[in-house]
Chains A and B, each alone.
Chain A
Amino acid sequence: MSSFKSKYQDELIANAAYIGTPGKGILAADESTGTIGKRLASINVENVESNRRALRELLFTTPGAFECLSGVILFEETLYQKTASGKPFVELLKEGGVLPGIKVDKGTVELAGTNGETTTQGLDGLGQRCQKYYEAGARFAKWRAVLKIGPNEPSELAIHENAYGLARYAVICQETGLVPIVEPEILVDGPHDINKCAEVTERVLAACYKALNDHHVLLEGTLLKPNMVTPGSESPKVTSEVIAKYTVTALQRTVPAAVPAIVFLSGGQSEEEATLNLNAMNKFQGKKPWSLSFSFGRALQQSTLKAWSGKDENIKKAQDAFIVRCKANSHATLGTYKGDATLAEGASESLHVKDYKY
């Protein structure tokens, strides 16, 4: 085959397929220490380990949540944390039929001579780190590449660097038993229209899949985590149906059928927007040889965070908010979301932060 034969081949294929189970999706709970600090700050909670642990325990022990989740992406610290009663989070997830995943990139750095375009670091010793994570129970990984739309962006350089970085990361993961989630995020920032976003998305995804092929990545053992195709943040909004059509068309033109599932990032969309858009995609009549699901961070946690506000007495309220979003998105993967999710405070709130740094 054009792809290399990993000793983990069957496992990679099975795990990737499992993550794409209709009705399930991914909770992206891999905020780095710095990033989770911003979230905690927004609800006046101190950024200490016990609070970070408490938040994740709140999420992972929400009754019924695991039925809606096939995977959770973790930050390294969380991979080794436990519940208050001493059960490792990884065990809790596994018992609940949820695959633990791990963020393995080390953030972005600017590409000299460009207008603020970036590449992603993290390849040094990546193989050994992945082995370590596999031993700790992780079965998939995530690496975020970032591109932006501007008058001269994304440049050929940015596209090439990010595509080939993703491909190198992906094959290293497969060598060590982790399903790589390939995430080429094109930021929503800008006044461009949806056509422009579609054009850029198609170009970027085509480059990604050429790079993955060059690096002998086994597509059946990968997942894609793209942006949805939408107008820029400073452009007038469009309906979910329009977003669905442009997004699915872009994917039909670039993502081979061998990829089992596409798990969208939510970018700056509100919880409700993200769910409605995902739902519209699954209702859209057109060829979709991969399942379409979610890998949401903010769009799953926003109202939960607000409801919790760091207080023990709010845990139940917060968990109620969380299960509502989980179920809503689970429905959306089946195209059966009726928009009747009890709208908690913050569910419609835009989560867009200009020039968002993870």
Chain B
Amino acid sequence: MSAFVGKYADELVKNAKYIATPGKGILAADESTGTIGKRLASINVENIEANRQALRQLLFTSPNALQYLSGVILFEETLYQTTTDGKPFVELLQENNVIPGIKVDKGVVELAATDGETTTQGFDSLGARCQKYYKAGARFAKWRAVLKIGPNEPSQLSIQQNAQGLARYAIICQENGLVPIVEPEILTDGAHDIAKCAAVTETVLAAVYKALNDHHVLLEATLLKPNMVTPGSDSPKVTPEVIAEYTVQALRRTVPAAVPGIVFLSGGQSEEEATLNLNAMNKLEVLKPWTLSFSFGRALQQSTLKTWGGKKENVGKAQESFLGRCKANSDATLGKYVGGSGTGLASESLYVKDYKY
């Protein structure tokens, strides 16, 4: 085969397929220390290890929530944390058939002479780090590439750099037993319409899959984490059905059937928007050779965070909120979501202009 088939091939294919199980999705809980700090700040909670641990414990011990998750992406610190009873988070997840994943990129840096376009770092000793994470129980990884739409963006340079970076990261993961989630996020910022977003998404995804092929990545052992195709943030909104149509069309034109699952990022969408859009995609009557699911961060945690407010006495209620979003998104992967889950918090836009992770 053109693809690299190393000693982990069977395991990788099996894990990728499991993550793509209909009815399940991914909780992206891999906020770096800096980023989680902003979240905690928004609810007036101090950014110390104990609080970061408490938040993740709240999520991972939510009764009945884990059944809706096939994977959780963790930040390195969290991979080695335990519950207050001393049980490693990784064990807790594994016991509940949730595969632990790990964010392995080291953020973005600007590409000189572009208009604020970026490439992603993290290659140094990546292989060795992946091995370490595998030993700690991780079985998939995530690397976020970022592109933007503008008068001259994304540039050929940005597309090439980010696509090649994702491909290099992906093959290193596969060499070391981790299923790579390939994430080429095209930011929603801008006044462009949905057709423009579609054109850019198709161009970027085509470049990504060419790069993956060039680097001999085994597609059956990868997942894709793309943006949905939507109008720009400064453009009038459209219905979930329209978003579904444009998104699925873009994916049908670029993502080979060998990829087992596509797990969308939520970008700046509110919890409810993200769920409704995912649901519309799964209801769309057109042939989709990959499952369509979620890998949500803010869109799974926002109302939970607010309900918690950092207070022990709110944990139960916060966990109920979290369960509500998990179930809603699980239904959405099956096209069965009937809307209106959760409180008004669920409709709050999570858009932050020029969002930096």
Contact = CB atoms under 8 A, between A and B. Distances in A.
B207 A253 contact: no
Contact of B288 (A206, A249, A251, A257): A257
Contacts of B206: 2, 209-210, 213-214
Contacts of A258: 249, 252-253
Interface string A6-36: 0000000000000000000000000000000
B219 A2 contact: no
A220 B249 CA distance: 10
Contacts of A251: 257
Given A199-B1, A210-B206, A287-B289, A256 B258 contact: no
A1 interface: yes
B interface secondary structure, majority: helix
A206 B213 CA distance: 7
A240 interface: no
A207 interface: yes
B195 A199 contact: no
Given A2-B198, A206-B209, A207-B210, A252 B287 contact: no
Contacts, number: 89
Given A249-B258, A252-B257, A287-B257, A210 B210 contact: yes
A235 interface: no
Contacts of A255: 256-257
A203 interface: yes
B257 A289 contact: yes
B252 to A, nearest CB: 4
Contacts of B214: 206
A178 interface: no
B192 to A, nearest CB: 13
B84 interface: no
B213 A254 contact: yes
Interface in A269-291: 287-289
A252 B253 contact: no
Interface in B180-206: 195, 198-200, 202-203, 206
B255 interface: yes
B2 A202 contact: yes
Contacts of B288: 257
Given A203-B213, A207-B210, A252 B1 contact: no
A256 B1 contact: no
Given A213-B202, A213-B206, A198 B257 contact: no
B82 interface: no
B3 interface: yes
B12 to A, nearest CB: 15
A262 to B, nearest CB: 12
B1 A254 contact: no
Contact of A202 (B1, B198, B203): B1
Interface in B245-265: 249-250, 252-258
Contacts of A42: none
Q: Which of A220, A253, A258 has the most CB of B within 10 A?
A: A253
B256 A254 contact: yes
A207 B209 CA distance: 10
A220 B195 CA distance: 17
Contacts of A249: 1, 258
A180 to B, nearest CB: 16
Contacts of A147: none
Given A210-B206, A213-B203, A249-B1, A219 B213 contact: no
A195 B206 CA distance: 25
A148 B207 CA distance: 25
B198 A256 contact: no
Given A2-B206, A206-B210, A210-B210, A253 B254 contact: no
Q: Which residue, of B210, B253, B255, has the highest number of chain A Cβ atoms within 10 A?
A: B253
B228 to A, nearest CB: 16
A3 B201 CA distance: 12
A253 B219 contact: yes
Nearest to B219: A253
Nearest to A210: B210
Nearest to A206: B213
B255 A253 contact: no
A349 to B, nearest CB: 32
A256 B256 contact: yes
Contacts of B257: 251-252, 255, 257, 287-289
Contacts of A289: 252, 257, 287, 289
Nearest to A253: B258
Interface string A97-109: 0000000000000
Contacts of B203: 2, 213
A249 B13 CA distance: 14
B289 A2 contact: no
Interface centre among B2, B213, B255 (most CB of A within 10 A): B2
B253 A202 contact: no
A20 to B, nearest CB: 12
Interface in A299-317: none
B213 A2 contact: no
Contacts of A219: 253
Given A287-B289, A289-B287, A256 B199 contact: no
B3 A253 contact: yes
A257 B219 CA distance: 15
A1 B206 CA distance: 13
Contacts of A210: 206-207, 209-210
Nearest to B246: A1
A261 B124 CA distance: 43
B170 to A, nearest CB: 14
A210 B1 CA distance: 19
Contacts of A207: 210
Contacts of B207: 210
Interface string A166-204: 000000000000000000000000000001001110110
A249 B256 CA distance: 10
23 contacts: A1-B199, A2-B199, A2-B200, A2-B202, A195-B1, A200-B2, A202-B3, A214-B206, A219-B253, A220-B253, A249-B1, A249-B258, A252-B289, A253-B2, A253-B3, A253-B256, A256-B253, A256-B255, A257-B252, A257-B257, A258-B252, A287-B257, A289-B257
The 5 closest A-B pairs by CB, nearest first: A2-B202, A213-B206, A202-B2, A206-B213, A210-B210
Given A213-B254, A257-B252, 15 more contacts: A1-B195, A1-B198, A2-B202, A195-B1, A198-B1, A202-B213, A209-B209, A210-B207, A210-B209, A213-B206, A249-B1, A250-B2, A254-B256, A287-B289, A289-B289
